[in-house]
Amino acid sequence: MVQLKINQKKYEIEADKSMPLLWALRDKVGLNGTKFGCGVAQCGACTVHVDGEAVRSCVTPISAVEGKEITTIEGLSPDLSHPLQQAWIAEDVPQCGYCQSGQIMSAAVLLKHNDQPTDEDINDVMTGNICRCGTYNRIRRAIHQAAKTVRKQKEDNS
Amino acid sequence: MTNTPKNSGFARVGIVAAAWLLIVVVTNLVMAEQKQSTSKEDISSAAFLKVYKVLQHPRCMNCHPAGHIPLQGDNSVAHNMRVKGGKDGKGIPGMKCMTCHQTQNVTGKRTPPGAPNWHLPHPDMPLVFQGKTPAELAKQLKDPKTNGNKTLEQILHHVSHDPLVLWGWKPGEGRTAPSISHKEFVKQMKIWIDNGAVVPK
């Protein structure tokens, strides 16, 4: 039995401790927003947050994340109100959509640390997330737009 | 007893012989000392050349690159995905080393290797292995200003116990290990240090 804290909720999972987190999320907990792409941390589709940092869940054994805060795309905001989700909708970013939850989760870590990213900053982080539809230009535009929203929210709250 | 000419002659011969013996003994001692110090240097230097071979192996050198991008594979090519060491050598937010490198190897070929605290040296003191000659690398390793503020004892401890160093000898499927064992590597490092940490010529 492994205890995991996912999106602020505790789960007890009957599984071998070597099970990849992605399997536990999708098959044991039923959170299907995180996608299986390559299975070897090469595409980024399975990106989730562990203690606030981006992690490829396909290569992360559940033993490594016991007692840690796991956040999936479903937990990024309760109502699609995260600036990135809003920007993604406004820019109509997805084509097939398969990689998009991973893209958004990586971008969310970037914006948390840098609310004024340059194209270079965006490329440095997002290069680990592959989009076979080639939506990279729209992804970059959406991140810039979300960054503006984050800055405005900070100004409004200060 | 009176000092006859015959007795005086014996005394002179005795003195000369004693002096000659003393000179021979002292000369031999000095030569032996010199010989010992030369061989100590040779021992240290030879040990470092064995250490150097390990440090130049991809398992060690790939995380001690000349630039800010780590290397990968047995052919030591630049890490894919434009991975960078960042401000602390642990990657950049959203693209940390630990984003893909967990605390243990992932099963199978072409999967990310793993060990606790996967990282590059701090960018302020990168301790570059790539492209360094034995002399350059030995100088770097000896100098706390270029080796991460470490004493030689701390360097020895690092190579003896750090899980990231030990990983080099259990690198997982599809990756070679250095040609000598970890035990032999540590032994040679100790010989190098114990014999003066000589910079090879």
Q: Provide the residue ranges of all domains of chain B, joining segments of one domain with +.
A: 1-34, 46-194
Q: What is the pLDDT of residue A29?
A: 98
pTM equals 0.86
Residues A118 and A59 in one domain: no
Q: How far apart are CA A34 and CA A73, in angstroms?
A: 7
Q: What is the pLDDT of residue A146?
A: 98
**CB-nearest partner of A124 from B95, B106, B108:** B95
Measured between CB atoms, does B78 come within 8 Å of chain A?
Answer: no
Residues A69 and A87 in one domain: no
Q: State the CATH number of the domain containing residue A111.
A: 1.10.150.120
Measured between CB atoms, does A109 come within 8 Å of chain B?
Answer: yes
**Count of domains for chain A:** 2
Q: What is the pLDDT of residue B1?
A: 45
Q: Which regions in chain B score pLDDT beneath 50? A: 1-2
**CB-nearest partner of A128 from B81, B106, B108:** B81
A102-146 tens-digit pLDDT: 999 999 999 999 999 999 999 999 999 999 999 999 999 999 999
Residues A137 and A116 in one domain: yes
Q: What is the pLDDT of residue A132?
A: 96
Q: What is the pLDDT of residue A26?
A: 98
Amino acid symbol at B74: D
Residues A38 and A68 in one domain: yes
Q: What is the pLDDT of residue A98?
A: 98
Residues A68 and A117 in one domain: no
Question: Averaged over A50-75, what is the pLDDT?
Answer: 97
Bridge partners (DSSP) listed for residue B6: none
Residues A52 and A16 in one domain: yes
End residue of a domain, out of A49, A75, A101: A75
Q: Which residue of B has its CA nearest to A62?
A: B102
Predicted complex ipTM exceeds 0.90:
yes
> Which residue is it, tokens 């805060």?
A69
Q: Does the beta-carbon distance from B95 to A54 stay under 8 Å?
A: yes
Structural domain of A145: 83-157
Bridge-based pairing state of the strands A2-6 and A69-71: parallel
CB neighbour list of residue B17: distance below 8 Å, 6 or more residues apart? none
Asked whether residue A157 carries a pLDDT value surpassing 60, the answer given is yes
Nearest C-alpha neighbor of B55 from the set B147, B153, B146, B130? B130
Q: Does the beta-carbon distance from A40 to B110 stay under 8 Å?
A: yes
Q: Which residues of chain A have a CB within 8 Å of the CB of B105?
A: none
A20-49 tens-digit pLDDT: 999 999 999 999 999 999 999 999 999 999
Which burial class, exposed, middle or buried, applies to A118 when counting CB atoms under 10 A from its CB (0-12, 13-18, 19+)? Answer: exposed
